[in-house]
């Protein structure tokens, strides 16, 4: 044992220590000094001693898939993340990141990101580089550590707006230059959202060439794939092929099988992931422990209709003939896009979670809202999109328990919220508020398919190793003092689909970089979270 400082900042005694490795827990003590973990015997002097008897002490939870950059530094975002024990989040997912920004296309990128925030900082117009964005981000009050991908849609908008076409060689070179500068400044890699505009307009060449840019930096390619339903197997193959051809690590976002006809296909997708790893291509996926997914309501609409921007699309929706065209396309299984309407089994399975200009629709299925308004469900859907300028969210009943349980058991599956955290007062999806305690309760307590040690490993150490988060994820001497102390018996995810923003019960302390940021469901006023530079 190395020399112990004469006075620790904190000593946590008699805890059930689950160290993030997946190994059997043990009773012991942990010290904290100057933001780092210190090996102790439990008798050392400390400024504060916490008797943790009867409770679990784990590394801080790492959210492998977060959209927290969109609401960075706000109390709402602190609540969503910290209440469930998250101490580090990997943001800039699904092709959407808050930088880079081209002032010429500021409106377009804000329309793109409006799913995750009701407002934008005035300084956003200046985020023409990731380095400039980091100046802003470093100054924000944070209760988590944040590591960020550059989003492909944001990158594309900065160079070519919302154009529905492959990039030219010059445009691709410009994107590559911006991405290279971002990686030099500390970005973790880049992400795609291949069901969303304008990321979906890119051909495979563009994706591979951009992925090659992050390879020398040991960057990661994270992808919301082109399809998570009828063509999910082909999409996994495409995503792995990018990793193979570009020589980069791959992270498959929120892996799931959407739509009843596709349930069970994870047997093949997981086989492909395991095969890729055996071939030396590092591939992981992340997952949230729910059978309903969530995204924008306009994800039910074929993406090519947004190529001229949201304003133009909303104007066209005033035309009944255009609505008839949309209805025919959406209702036809032959229309080639990841069809969320069909995945949910129709309007009965589509629940409006956020629609600020039509609040009476929130919490209702499209069918229920249509009945309330005395109109056809299709027109109810179109009206909600138009009146809210497509800044709406919806929850979709599209998955099954069996698939969710099989995916989490893969040794290459991590835990991520995919949480949309627009505002605490708005209805969303419980994954934004409670993914991590839910994973423990669902997979360990209810299903019994993982031990607590295995579950914590997926939420901490495995994520840190897979996504290259240095000095985090383990209770180990010299590592950053990111910790969660909770009572396993009292741990309860109170968030539900009807009441999605509700605080977790049973989490007593959350430490970030050696400071207590959250104690007994209250913030302490410490903002010790940091922006993490990749390879720093």
User: pLDDT (tens digit, 9 = 90+) per residue, 456-492?
Assistant: 999 999 999 999 999 999 999 999 999 999 999 999 9
pLDDT of residue 126: 97
pLDDT of residue 116: 87
pLDDT of residue 309: 84
CA–CA separation, 20 vs 399, rounded Å?
29
Using only the alpha carbons of the chain, give its radius of gyration: 23
Rounding to the nearest 10 degrees, give the CA dihedral for residues 150, 394, 61, 67. Answer: 20
- Beta 483-486 vs 56-59: how paired, if at all? antiparallel
Class of the CATH domain delimited by 61-291+399-429? alpha beta
Q: Which residues of 33-47 are buried (b: 16+ CB within 10 A; e: fewer)?
A: bebbbbebeeebebe
pLDDT of residue 507: 98
User: pLDDT (tens digit, 9 = 90+) per residue, 44-90?
Assistant: 999 999 999 999 999 999 999 999 999 999 999 999 999 999 999 99
Is 197 in contact with 153 (CB distance < 8 Å)? yes
Q: Which residues of 462-472 are buried (b: 16+ CB within 10 A; e: fewer)?
A: bbbbbbbbeeb
pLDDT of residue 1: 36
CA–CA separation, 209 vs 6, rounded Å?
54
Is 32 in contact with 502 (CB distance < 8 Å)? no
pLDDT of residue 409: 98
Q: Is the pTM of this model over 0.85?
A: yes
For 534, the token pair is 């990749």
For the chain, the residue count is 536
Where does the chain hold its CATH 3.20.20.140 domain(s)?
Answer: 61-291+399-429
CA–CA separation, 68 vs 146, rounded Å?
8
pLDDT in tens, the chain (536 residues): 344 557 999 999 999 999 999 999 999 999 999 999 999 999 999 999 999 999 999 999 999 999 999 999 999 999 999 999 999 999 999 999 999 999 999 999 999 998 888 899 999 999 999 999 999 999 999 999 999 999 999 999 999 999 999 999 999 999 999 999 999 999 999 999 999 999 999 999 999 999 999 999 999 999 999 999 999 999 999 999 999 999 999 999 999 999 999 999 999 999 999 999 999 999 999 999 999 999 889 889 998 998 888 889 999 999 999 999 999 999 999 998 989 999 999 999 999 988 989 999 998 999 999 999 999 999 999 999 999 998 888 999 999 999 999 999 999 999 999 998 778 888 889 999 999 999 999 999 999 999 999 999 999 999 999 999 999 999 999 999 999 999 999 999 999 988 999 999 999 999 999 999 999 999 999 999 999 999 88
Please tell me whether residue 87 adopts helix, strand or coil conformation: strand
């Amino acid at each position: 044992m190395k020399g112990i400082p004469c006075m620790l900042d904190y000593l946590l005694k008699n805890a059930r220590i689950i160290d993030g490795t997946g190994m059997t827990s043990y009773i012991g003590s942990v010290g904290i000094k100057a933001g780092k973990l210190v090996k102790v015997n439990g008798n050392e002097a400390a400024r504060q001693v916490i008797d943790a008897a009867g409770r679990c002490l784990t590394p801080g939870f790492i959210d492998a898939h977060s959209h927290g950059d969109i609401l960075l530094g706000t109390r709402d975002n602190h609540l969503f993340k910290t209440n469930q024990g998250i101490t580090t989040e990997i943001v800039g997912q699904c092709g959407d990141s808050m930088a880079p920004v081209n002032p010429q296309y500021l409106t377009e990128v804000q329309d793109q990101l409006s799913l995750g925030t009701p407002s934008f900082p005035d300084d956003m117009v200046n985020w023409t580089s990731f380095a400039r964005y980091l100046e802003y981000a470093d100054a924000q009050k944070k209760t988590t550590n944040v590591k960020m991908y550059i989003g492909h849609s944001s990158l594309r908008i900065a160079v070519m707006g919302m154009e529905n076409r492959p990039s030219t060689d010059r445009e691709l070179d410009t994107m590559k230059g911006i991405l290279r500068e971002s990686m030099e400044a500390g970005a973790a890699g880049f992400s795609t959202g291949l069901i969303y505009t304008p990321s979906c307009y890119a051909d495979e060449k563009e994706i591979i060439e951009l992925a090659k840019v992050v390879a020398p930096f040991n960057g990661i390619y994270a992808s919301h794939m082109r399809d998570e339903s009828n063509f999910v197997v082909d999409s996994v193959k495409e995503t792995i092929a990018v990793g193979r051809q570009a020589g980069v690590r791959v992270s498959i976002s929120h892996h799931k099988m959407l739509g009843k006809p596709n349930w069970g296909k994870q047997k093949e997708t997981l086989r492909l992931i395991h095969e890729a790893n055996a071939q030396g291509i590092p591939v992981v996926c992340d997952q949230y422990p729910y059978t309903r997914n969530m995204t924008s309501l306009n994800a039910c609409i074929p993406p090519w209709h947004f190529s001229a921007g949201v304003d133009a699309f909303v104007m066209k929706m005033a035309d009944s003939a255009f609505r008839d065209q949309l209805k025919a396309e959406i209702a036809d299984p032959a229309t080639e896009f990841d069809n969320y309407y069909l995945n949910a089994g129709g309007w009965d399975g589509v629940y409006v979670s956020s629609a600020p200009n039509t609040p009476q629709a929130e919490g209702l299925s499209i069918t229920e809202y249509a009945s309330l308004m005395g109109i056809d469900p299709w027109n109810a859907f179109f009206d909600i999109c138009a009146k809210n300028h497509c800044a709406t969210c919806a929850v979709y009943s599209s998955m099954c328990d069996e698939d969710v349980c099989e995916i989490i058991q893969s040794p290459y599956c991590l835990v991520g919220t995919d949480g949309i955290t627009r505002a605490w007062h708005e209805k969303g999806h419980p994954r934004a508020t409670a993914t991590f305690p839910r994973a423990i309760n669902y997979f360990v307590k209810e299903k019994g398919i993982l031990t607590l040690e295995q579950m914590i490993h997926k939420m901490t150490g495995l994520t840190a190793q897979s996504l290259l988060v240095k000095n985090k994820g383990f209770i180990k001497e010299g590592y950053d003092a990111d910790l969660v102390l909770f009572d396993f018996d009292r741990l309860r995810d109170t968030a539900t689909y009807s009441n999605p923003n509700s605080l977790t019960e049973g989490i007593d302390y959350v430490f970030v970089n050696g400071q207590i940021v959250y104690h007994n469901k209250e913030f302490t006023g410490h903002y010790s979270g940091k922006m993490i530079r990749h390879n720093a």
